[in-house]
Amino acid sequence: MPGLVRGQALPPLLVRLCPPLLCAALVAAISAASSVAAQPERIGVTTAPAATVHFFPERDAPATAVARNESRLGAEIAARIAAIPVDVGQTVPRGAVVVQLDDADAKLAVAQAEAALNSAKARLALAESQLARARDLQKQEFISPEALAQRETETAVVRAEVANAEAALRSAQRLLEKTVIRAPFAGVVMARPGQVGEIAQPGAPLVVLKDAAPPEVSSPIPADLADGLGPKVAFEFVTPTARHALRLLRISPAVQTATRTREARLAFVKEAPPAGTEGRLHWRDPRPHLPAELIVQRSRNGETVFGAFIVEGGRAKLVPIAQAQAGRPAPSPLAPTAQVVVSGQAALQDGQAVNTAAK
């Protein structure tokens, strides 16, 4: 007998052969069987709360302990090097003399400027005295207003000469100060390219000084990991012989085009290794991740989509995960209470009815 679908009438021959009650029962049975056959097949899956499958992967990146300052100290004037009272490897305090230039010419310039200033001050005293006398005479009308104005002008000119002489003296004194090069910070002498007796040229390095303060750690962090880092993340600087706790200072907002990284600067919490020490920066990613085996690949609207299945209302739902890749863990977009499919996800389709069992 050909199959019947729900709602279809019985063939006329069958109606004539069977009693009315039997025909009604037969129609009901066929309709029920058709209804069961039309229901989609349910797949059994196992689920677990997302909070129980989330994990926080360990990360690392190359890192170096770098000095906060490393200065190449040079002369600002051309002069003979009289002395370099420091040696390579020596630690010097801030303000210590590291290079002494010949200051004979500078001292002569100061003496000349002082003499010029004293001469100008003497002329100013005479001019002011003559001006005061001229004012008294003008009140008594012994001299004309024009003569008084001339005295005032002469005094103003001499006063300007005094100001110019004072500026020349300060310039000469500043030149004398430049014959002494001092350490701008407490540091270690790394090199002394200058030699006693040579003529120092402006800008040429004479002493290389590295900051003795505790160094910072510089590390290139992959750009896709940098945004999730903050002061609450625990960092460590790991060398073959030690591990040092760190705290995050700042992350550069600029991305290095060639490496797609952003520079992170961190400070040592306690003791620090010497500047120049190389190691690895270790931390735990603060973003919850889903294991690689829970990431599935499906096609949606002609495009490949990576994501994870959850169960809502008895049906599977594919939650896309941006930047996910096959075979690799990915940051989780799921709420901690979401029911994640942890078994049976390989054969699932988005929207498929499922029978669930808790893990």
Mean pLDDT of the 301-318 span:
92
State the pLDDT at residue 35. Answer: 44
Q: Is residue 2 part of a domain?
A: no
pLDDT of residue 317: 94
Assess whether 301 and 336 both reside in one domain.
Answer: yes
Residue 7 — very low, low, confident or very high, per pLDDT cuts 50/70/90? very low
Q: Output the CA–CA distances (angstroms, integers) from residue 200 to 173, 176, 189, in the order listed.
A: 19, 15, 18
- Rounded CA gap, 113 and 118, in Å? 9
Question: Is residue 199 one of the residues assigned to a domain?
Answer: no
The alpha carbon of residue 155 and the mean position of all alpha carbons in its chain are separated, in whole angstroms, by: 61
Mean predicted confidence (pLDDT) in 84-110 = 96
Query: Contact at 8 Å (CB) between 109 and 175?
Result: yes
Per-residue model confidence (pLDDT) at position 290: 95
Please tell me whether residues 112 and 88 are part of one structural domain: yes
For 140-167, what is each residue's pLDDT tens digit?
Answer: 888 888 988 999 999 999 999 999 999 9
Kindly state whether residues 244 and 320 are assigned to the same domain.
Answer: no
Number of domains in the chain: 4
Asked if the model's pLDDT at residue 24 lies above 90, the reply is no
Q: Is residue 332 within 8 Å of 315, Cβ to Cβ?
A: no
Note whether 301 and 324 are same-domain residues: yes
> Could you tell me if 63 and 129 lie in one domain?
no
State how far Cα 221 lies from the chain centre. Answer: 9
Q: CA-CA distance, 67 to 302, in Å (whole number)?
A: 54
Q: Residues 187, 80: one domain?
A: yes
My answer on whether 178 and 117 are in the same domain is yes
Give the mean pLDDT of the chain. 88
Write out the residue range of the structural domain in which residue 48 sits: 43-55+289-358
284 has a pLDDT exceeding 70? yes
Residues 232 and 275 in one domain: yes
> Residue 310's pLDDT is what?
94
Residue 17 has pLDDT above 80, yes or no: no
Residues facing 92 on adjacent strands: 187
CATH number for 299: 2.40.420
Asked if pLDDT for residue 38 goes beyond 60, the answer is no
